[in-house]
């Protein structure tokens, strides 16, 4: 019997969502390309932007694909596929699905076989995540006009604006660097009793605990350090050797892949205890 989570109709819904994303992305590419030409941006610059953006996106896209398969164990493959194609990310989707299931006496740790549970999960995931779209067009223009006004003043103000923009970017990057040095990801999971059933408190509600799923450790720090070193070396090479100048825009994805390669290398050559060392024990409770 075909699983109700992976029927032809479910696949049709997924293809509808994909068609929408394609239409929106292509619309903006065509409009931007035309305006870029009007502004005198060279075809080479725009083609380079496209190529480097593809290369840049492949590895993170594969890691998103992995999360689709993580969620697929409970939800079937089509729903996580839809949710991670529009808006979703692993943390939000897991919390939304687990919250819905907890209210219905289920859990993401087992496959959903009840249609009502599944339908509730789909509604919870959607209603939880679409909120920014309700007010984005109202505030987006106002926010950007304010910034546009600030950066179009004097040269000095413009320079300060550029530095503040760079500072904000560095702020974003720093959050991820800090997490690679000393962060962890926890997921709320139900506590199980001796018989393997969800334990309940006096009010009859499920007891949950924060379980560590990911943690920074030796490998994440080494990957981070090597990504920085490889990128600096590639940037220096592109500056020094004239023939490599046109490849400068590919330095970033190349450095990213090389650093991931270093992570694999270290996981093979380091003693297993060191290679798997993390600050917070995976599977432990926080």
Segment 61 to 120, residues that bind other proteins, using CB under 8 A: 61-66, 68-70, 72, 77-79, 81-82, 84-89, 91-92, 95-96, 99-100, 103-104, 115-116, 118-120
Contact positions with other proteins (CB under 8 A) in 232-271:
232, 235, 248-249, 251-252, 255-257, 259-261, 263-264, 266-268
Instruction: Please report whether residue 176 would count as binding other proteins according to CB under 8 A.
Output: yes
- Tell me if 95 sits within 8 A of 188, measured CB to CB: yes
Question: Whole-angstrom Cα distance, residue 161 to residue 156?
Answer: 8
Residues numbered 131 to 160 that lie near other proteins (CB under 8 A) are 131-137, 139-141, 143-144, 147-148, 151-152, 156, 159-160
| For other proteins, the closer CB: 199 or 218 | 218
d(CA 148, CA 185) in angstroms, rounded, equals 37
Q: Does 178 bind other proteins (CB under 8 A)?
A: yes
If one counts every other C-beta atom within 10 angstroms of the C-beta of residue 185, the result is 16
Segment 14 to 43, residues that bind other proteins, using CB under 8 A = 16-18, 20-22, 24-29, 31-33, 35-36, 39, 41
CA end-to-end span of the chain: 41
**Per CB under 8 A, 285 contacts other proteins:** no
CB of 195 to other proteins, least distance (A): 26
Nearer to other proteins, 154 or 243 (CB): 154
Choice from 3, 43, 113, 168 touching other proteins (CB under 8 A) = 168
Exactly one of 71, 74, 108, 184 binds other proteins (CB under 8 A); that residue is 184
Side-chain-side CA neighbours of 155 within 13 Å: the count stands at 0
- List strand residue ranges (DSSP E) for 174-278, in order: 184-190, 208-215
Q: How many residues bind other proteins (CB under 8 A)?
A: 161
CA–CA distance from 283 to each of 15, 24, 91, 154, 227 (Å)? 36, 40, 16, 55, 28
Tell me the C-alpha distance between 160 and 66, whole Å: 41
**Residue 217 burial by Cβ neighbours in a 10 Å radius (0-12, 13-18, 19+):** buried
């Amino acid at each position: 019997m075909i699983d109700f989570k992976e029927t032809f109709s479910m696949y049709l819904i997924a293809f509808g969502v994909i068609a929408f994303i394609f239409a929106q992305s292509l619309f903006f590419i065509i409009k931007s390309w035309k305006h870029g030409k009007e502004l005198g941006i060279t075809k080479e610059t725009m083609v380079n932007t496209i190529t480097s953006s593809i290369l840049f996106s492949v590895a993170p896209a594969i890691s998103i694909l992995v999360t689709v398969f993580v969620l697929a164990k409970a939800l079937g493959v089509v729903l996580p596929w839809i949710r991670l194609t529009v808006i979703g990310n692993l943390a939000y989707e897991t919390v939304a699905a687990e919250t819905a299931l907890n209210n219905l006496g289920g859990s993401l740790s087992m496959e959903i076989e009840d249609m009502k549970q599944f339908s509730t999960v789909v509604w919870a995931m959607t209603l939880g995540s679409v909120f920014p779209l309700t007010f984005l067009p109202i505030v987006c223009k106002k926010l950007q006009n304010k910034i546009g006004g600030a950066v179009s003043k004097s040269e000095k103000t413009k320079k300060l604006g550029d530095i503040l923009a760079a500072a904000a970017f560095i702020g974003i990057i720093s959050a991820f660097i800090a997490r690679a040095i000393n962060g962890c990801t926890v997921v709320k999971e139900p506590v199980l009793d001796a018989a393997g059933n969800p334990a309940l408190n006096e009010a009859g509600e499920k007891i949950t605990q924060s379980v560590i799923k990911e943690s920074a450790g030796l490998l994440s720090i080494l990957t981070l350090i090597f990504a920085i070193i490889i990128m600096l070396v590639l940037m220096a090479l592109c500056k020094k050797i004239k023939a490599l100048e046109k490849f400068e825009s590919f330095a970033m994805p190349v450095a990213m892949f090389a650093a991931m390669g270093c992570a694999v290398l270290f996981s093979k050559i380091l003693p297993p205890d060191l290679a798997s060392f993390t600050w917070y024990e995976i599977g432990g409770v926080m």
